């Protein structure tokens, strides 16, 4: 599935590159801007697959294509300056690794092609007009997270039928977070499960969130994907294990 998604993203990116290619000199090496709000360690597997997919299509990094990498390291206020930096470098296309990245890229340019790879709800976040006809300068892939968020709770309930209280760790400033949480709440109502939402906007909030989870005696944990939880996922997993808390 990961390889298939990577291939689809590459096709979208290469399609976007075709537009400026006609006006460029034949000797010019295409330049891709790669924008990710988390840490490099959180996305190395995808970068490896991305490079491999490029090589399979004849693009070798450092030889006939250049990739400019910019990472926010979980600091969301850095994203717009990083996106603006890529625009000033005159990259041919910007590839984004998530909704926070796409929002920053969209704010930085309405002209350069943007290829999103992991956006949870691009329509709801206002990035594109529709999945069938994106419009504007943004295309790519969606994880459709809001639609599958209820299934996560369904799986937890199947594994642990007696759970009655589930903690949900998210980030309210992450595009798509509200819609994902809404779908999870709808599923919780059907299962008779009470949700405890905890807003984690930075690494300093993680320990606080787990203290609240322990105090309120949640039976399980669902973690919504965002740059903070992705960058600090080892810490979150460690705390879940320490508190013997089944986690999704």
205-215 residue pLDDT tens: 999 999 999 99
Q: What's the DSSP call for residue 30? A: P
Using alpha carbons, list the distances in angstroms from residue 62 to 51, 67, 140.
11, 8, 24
Whose tokens are 């891709």? That residue is 32
pLDDT digits (tens, 9 = 90+) for 121-163: 888 888 999 888 899 999 998 877 777 788 889 999 999 999 9
- Indicate whether 15 pLDDT > 70: no
pLDDT digits (tens, 9 = 90+) for 184-202: 999 999 999 999 999 999 8
Of 45-59, 131-145, 170-184, highest mean pLDDT:
45-59
Arithmetic mean of pLDDT, 226-245: 91
Q: Which residues pair with 197 in a beta bridge?
A: 168
Q: Determine the CATH number of domain 145-242.
A: 3.40.50.2300
Percentages (nearest 5) of helix, strand, coil residues in the chain = 45, 20, 35
Q: What angle do CA 163, 195, 158 make, to 5 degrees?
A: 35
Q: What is the pLDDT of residue 105?
A: 96
- Indicate whether 176 pLDDT > 60: yes
Q: Which of 228, 219, 215, 226 has its CA nearest to residue 247?
A: 219
Q: Which long-range contacts (CB under 8 A, 24 or more apart) does 240-247 make?
A: 243/210, 243/213, 243/214, 245/167, 245/213, 245/218, 245/220, 245/221, 246/156, 246/159, 246/160, 246/163, 246/219, 246/220, 246/221, 247/220, 247/221, 247/222, 247/223
Per-residue confidence band for 3, with pLDDT thresholds at 50, 70 and 90: low
Residue spans in the chain of domains classed CATH 3.40.50.2300 = 2-142, 145-242
Share of the chain above pLDDT 90, in %: 55
Helices (H) and strands (E) in the chain, counts: 9, 8
- Indicate whether 52 pLDDT > 80: yes
Using alpha carbons, list the distances in angstroms from residue 133 to 129, 139, 195, 204, 212.
7, 9, 35, 40, 43
Alpha-carbon distance of 184 to 168, in angstroms, equals: 9
- Weakest mean pLDDT among 23-37, 158-172, 224-238: 23-37
Q: What is the pLDDT of residue 177?
A: 84
Q: What is the pLDDT of residue 4?
A: 54
**The dihedral sign for the CA sequence 36, 42, 44, 50:** negative
Q: What is the pLDDT of residue 151?
A: 87
Per-residue confidence band for 12, with pLDDT thresholds at 50, 70 and 90: low
Its pTM stands at 0.69
One-character DSSP codes across 170-181: E-TTSTTHHHHH
- Indicate whether 18 pLDDT > 90: no
Q: Determine the CATH number of domain 2-142.
A: 3.40.50.2300
């Amino acid at each position: 599935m990961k390889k298939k998604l990577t291939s689809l993203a590459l096709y979208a990116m290469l399609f976007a590159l075709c537009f400026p290619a006609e006006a460029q000199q034949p000797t010019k090496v295409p330049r891709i801007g790669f924008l990710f709000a988390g840490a490099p360690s959180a996305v190395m597997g995808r970068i490896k697959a991305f490079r491999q997919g490029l090589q399979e299509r004849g693009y070798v990094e450092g030889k006939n294509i250049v990739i400019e990498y910019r990472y926010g390291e979980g600091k969301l206020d850095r994203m717009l300056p990083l996106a603006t930096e890529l625009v000033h470098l005159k990259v041919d296309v910007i590839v984004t690794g998530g909704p926070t990245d796409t929002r920053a890229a969209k704010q930085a340019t309405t002209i350069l092609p943007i290829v999103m790879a992991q956006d949870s709800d691009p329509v709801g976040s206002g990035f594109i007009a529709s999945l069938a006809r994106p419009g504007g300068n943004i295309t790519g892939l969606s994880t459709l997270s809001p639609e599958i968020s209820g299934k996560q709770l369904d799986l937890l309930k199947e594994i642990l039928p007696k759970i009655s209280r589930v903690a949900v760790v998210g980030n309210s400033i992450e595009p798509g977070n509200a819609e994902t949480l809404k779908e999870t709440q709808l599923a919780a109502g059907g299962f008779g499960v009470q949700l405890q939402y905890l807003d984690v906007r930075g690494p300093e909030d993680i320990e606080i969130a787990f203290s609240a989870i322990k105090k309120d005696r949640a039976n399980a944990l669902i973690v919504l994907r965002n740059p903070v939880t992705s960058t600090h996922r080892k810490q979150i997993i460690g705390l879940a294990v320490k508190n013997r808390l089944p986690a999704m």
